[in-house]
């Protein structure tokens, strides 16, 4: 069962934003809205899986994005957990979206602001609509007590990052927010070795599921070894539980390789990435616009193969992440 302090926090979370009820002790929870389904699961210590919303708004076109979002949530439910898609709608951070809210976000597409940690206050203050990235989703999930978060792939150190200093805030968030992120590794458009070095510097435990090698998003292998291997969802749950009980204050990255039957050709993907990178440089596309551009361009250059792989790996991550959340809930009983 949830602690009395958790129950008190959840009581606060059920309110929409009321400035008169907001205080420092609430740490932002008075600004949020938690769906009844998610609120009940958290109150009872049940398994909950956080899901990001940038993949819905910026990852694929409508209606494919809505269809995929519904399918991912269904996979989580089928495994016995409650999905909590996170987004900011009309300035209110929402944890757990209704079907109507999901459809609204899917139709908004890129008109919803891509929202990382740094953008949350602005989107809330301007009563805007924000699709949360990994960093923002982690932060909001942690605020309401969700320990497991499923995504496709995290951001990282961009290629040529040693000169541009273009490093995703996902990495620093993992270094300071105690949420376990289940992903297919780092997007292969990025510099994977440098990303792993940066995560080590941040003190983040990086584990690979049923393999000794860090996956490369579209492909199962990257050539980089991991310091930690976990072979069952129960092992993952014990790792998360130990991290929380020790109060380490850092996140955990659990990298799940894309299923072999959905793996894209490594050489095809890399060729497309190199061409897309050159086009991005020629067009001076930088910052948070670069990753959506690169992913979209790689999808075009591979004839849709990369998008198919992306959807497949997200669904697989949802399956594994839900099983981990269920195992963690049982462990904490």
Task: Kindly name the residue from 52, 263, 290, 323 that is annotated as catalytic.
Answer: 52
Task: Kindly name the residue from 79, 114, 187, 315 that is annotated as catalytic.
Answer: 187
Q: Which tokens hold the place of 279?
A: 């086009």
Q: Which tokens hold the place of 208?
A: 């690979």
| Burial class of 6 by CB neighbour count within 10 A (0 to 12, 13 to 18, 19+) | middle
Phi, psi dihedral angles at 272 (to 5 degrees): -65, -40
Question: Which positions ≥6 away from 63 have C-beta within 8 Å?
Answer: 106
Residue 236 · residue 180 · CB < 8 Å: yes
Buried b (16+ CB within 10 A) or exposed e, 206-219: bbbbebebbbbbbb
Q: Which long-range contacts (CB under 8 A, 24 or more apart) does 301-307 make?
A: 301/271, 301/272, 301/275, 301/276, 302/264, 302/268, 302/269, 302/272, 305/264, 305/265, 305/268, 306/218, 306/264, 306/269, 306/272, 307/60
Residue 189 · residue 301 · CB < 8 Å: no
173 belongs to the catalytic site: no
Q: Which tokens hold the place of 271?
A: 């060729």
Position of tokens 């690169």? 294
Q: Outline where 1-35 has alpha helix (H).
A: 4-13
Rounded to whole angstroms, the Cα distance separating 197 from 134 reads 19
33 belongs to the catalytic site: no
| Burial class of 24 by CB neighbour count within 10 A (0 to 12, 13 to 18, 19+) | exposed
Active site residues: 52, 187
């Amino acid at each position: 069962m949830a602690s009395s302090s958790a129950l008190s926090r959840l009581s606060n979370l059920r309110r929409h934003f009321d400035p008169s009820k907001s205080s420092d002790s609430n740490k932002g929870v008075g600004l949020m809205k938690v769906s009844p389904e998610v609120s009940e699961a958290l109150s009872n210590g049940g398994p909950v899986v956080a899901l990001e919303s940038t993949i819905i708004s910026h990852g694929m076109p409508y209606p494919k994005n809505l269809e995929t979002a519904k399918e991912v949530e269904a996979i989580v439910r089928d495994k016995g957990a409650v999905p909590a898609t996170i987004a900011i709608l009309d300035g209110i951070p929402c944890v757990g979206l209704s079907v109507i809210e999901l459809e609204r976000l899917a139709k908004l597409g890129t008109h919803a602001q891509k929202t990382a940690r740094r953008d949350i206050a602005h989107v809330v203050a301007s009563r805007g609509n924000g699709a949360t990235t990994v960093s923002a989703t982690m932060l909001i999930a942690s605020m309401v007590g969700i320990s497991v978060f499923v995504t496709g792939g995290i951001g990282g150190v961009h290629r040529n990052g040693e000169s541009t200093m273009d490093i995703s805030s996902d990495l620093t968030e993992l270094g300071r927010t105690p949420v376990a992120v289940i992903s297919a590794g780092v997007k292969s458009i990025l510099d994977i070795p440098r990303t792993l070095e940066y995560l080590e510097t941040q003190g983040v435990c990086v584990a690979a599921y049923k393999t000794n090698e860090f996956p490369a998003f579209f492909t199962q292998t990257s050539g980089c070894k991991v310091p930690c291997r976990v072979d069952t969802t129960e092992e993952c749950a014990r790792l998360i539980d130990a991290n929380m009980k020790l109060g380490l204050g850092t996140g955990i990255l659990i990298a799940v390789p894309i299923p072999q039957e959905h793996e894209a050709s490594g050489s095809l993907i890399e060729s497309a990435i190199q061409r897309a990178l050159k086009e991005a440089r020629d067009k001076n596309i930088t910052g948070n616009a670069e990753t959506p551009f690169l992913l979209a361009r790689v999808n075009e250059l591979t004839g849709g193969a990369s998008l198919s792989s992306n959807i497949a790996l997200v669904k697989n991550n949802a399956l594994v992440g839900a099983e981990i959340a269920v195992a963690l809930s049982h462990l904490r009983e």
